[in-house]
Structure 1
Amino acid sequence: MSLYLCVDCGGSKTSAVICDTYGNIIGRALGGPSNFAYLSLDAFVVAITETVTAALEKSSPLSDDPITLPPTSGTPFAAAWFGVSGVDSSAAVAAITPALSKLLGIPEGPRLIIANDTHLLAAPVRMYPDVSHAVAVIGGTGSIAVTFRENAGKLEELGRVGGWGWILGDEGGGFHVGREAIRQILMEHDKASIGTPLAHSKLKDKIMDLFGIADVMEILTIIHLPDPPVNATPDSNLLSHLSMPREKRLSSLSPLVFSAAFEEGDALALRVLRTCAGHLAEQISVLLGEISEEKPRAVKAQDSVVSFGGSLVGIAEYRNLVLEHLAKRGHVFRHVEFVNDAAATGAVGLVAGFVTSGITSTNVHEC
């Protein structure tokens, strides 16, 4: 068999999709986190191995013999494309390429494509003949924006902003939303200390209930509690959020913020999301504008498709907040896309690039 593999490696999950030579999806699976910036090489390879193996098991009915990794008798893969969160330099690509080459049995070279996960989102530029530029925006656990130009059938990266991780950035991502929620709750509490009326907030109630506290200032103790030891045995008597790393204690709050904002209309939650969306739009704006001596690789929004991916920008109301902030800055895109399944889009695009033409995400068929 000649199989085509695409793996979307993110901060919350790994998604692997396998296509046949006709662009039919014959296997797919989800696995745990595989952001390379947060994992050792060994842990990264384990996450990839488990997820791709599960996808191969789904496709095994089409094969006479089960496929194992690394392959024992020649690789079944004609090509593979990895979009890896946390791979932001040639050194990072070089660090993981030998391991992935060995795992899949694909020699290092053009059949093994390794790039940042935003590259998977640039595929929609090929759907629209009236644009030649794409702005790929990821807003999930973290955030990043990258601009591309289609040049002779290939995607050329032009500029990027963000993707620095939760300590330094990730504006508009899950960590930022959780952090901003806590900041605004504390700020409201501080204002009340000088007599400013304290409005009721369902979001504050939800977070305090989650943390099991009655005093807002107890939040500080919970947030700043050190990370649990890496090999610590889970304590069933310990509240689940206390057994999380500090970053997860904040990023795990984002679902509460979204439900309070868009399902219950909580004013504080809406303000948090408008703030975070504004920061993400500000980041994206760095890449946009008229080409000039100062910005020779800038991209015009009106001549581009913006392609969103990630759990947070997958929520239409939040995505629209980002677009509204961009429009206020004068950046209105010709086309707007949300790529719900970057791995599937990438797998089909991989087949199109190697063996066929005219295959798009709209005519993907799953077996």
Structure 2
Amino acid sequence: MSSSPLISGIQQVGIGVTDVPKAWQWYRRVLGFDVPVFDDRSEARLMVNYTGGNVQSRHAVMALNMAGGGGLEIWQFTDRTPQPCAFQAEPGDLGIFAIRFKAPDARRAYDWVKTQPQANVGTFAKLPEGDGFWGKDPDGNVFQVAGDSSWFQQNDQPTGGVAGVVVGVSDVDASLRFYQHLLNPCEVVYDQTGTFADLPTSTPGQRFRRVLLRKTVTRHGAFSQLLGNVQIELIQALDREPRRLFADRYWGDCGYIHVCFDALDMKALKTRMGDKGYPFTVDSEESFGMESAAGRFAYVEDPDGTLIELVETHKLPILKKIGWYLDLQKRKHQKPLPNWMLRMMSLSRVRD
């Protein structure tokens, strides 16, 4: 396997909601996602295989926390009522169970988040690596906050952007092969089996296998320094049969609909994944516009059908107010963009 990285970081995690403005306001105020990349209303024509065979209209906002880390794509159907999960998600259920947000100081982040309206936060806990805590947003989506070493810039915000996701799997070994192949080069940080006091489960004493996979930030990709490290935790429930979080529902319904990685060479990535038996299930093949941003996007499924989005960015708004857009297709290399240029995006910050 080639060690040439084809993924630079997590670009965003998609969250299906019932009210985009309300959900985004909470994530702005509590977790600092206040810089919009796009605010788009259109039809998801290429996703019909995951939306009941019919083209669905939607409203989506992508927002960043400029301290560093991936963003959020807050997503809502506009021509049908988004459907919630029919049961309470538990660790090990198949799909994206939680987002992992980064923090420069996990204790300070805990003290901040637990005082915020509609933040349902558990106790400060010892995680398998370091300290942190679990919580739920106002829609009941589970998140984790933990320390991280990769930062784009330090500011007064107690939390940063997306550092990773926690994914429920039916077979850790099979899923590990998939994610290692996708994220190569990366490392296994821990592989532990047992009971875990920190996990937010309704049935204490259950046994799990937990594996944390980390891709450390490198200087490959225009946005690599902004996006930082990638951490994917795989959780397998050993004492019960897991349920599929999106069983009998559409992509875009309530919950975490995908994790999106920033792709450096989509053509090479398609070949790499296809050669190992992981074909793209969706591929725009050419540049696809999302309001003021554009890129080639594709989807691939992990062994349990969890949707992984891949985006090769072609156009990005730096400062929409004056019509400054960056055309990445004209760049002849994959080196990081200058920090000053990315910081200009902060001038579009939405203040409450």
Q: Same fold (TM over 0.5)?
A: no
Return the structure number with greater helix share. Answer: 1
> Per the shorter chain, which TM-score range?
under 0.3
TM-score computed with the length of structure 1 as normaliser: 0.22
Which structure ranks higher in relative contact order (CA pairs < 8 Å, sequence separation ≥ 6)? 2
TM-score (norm 2): 0.23
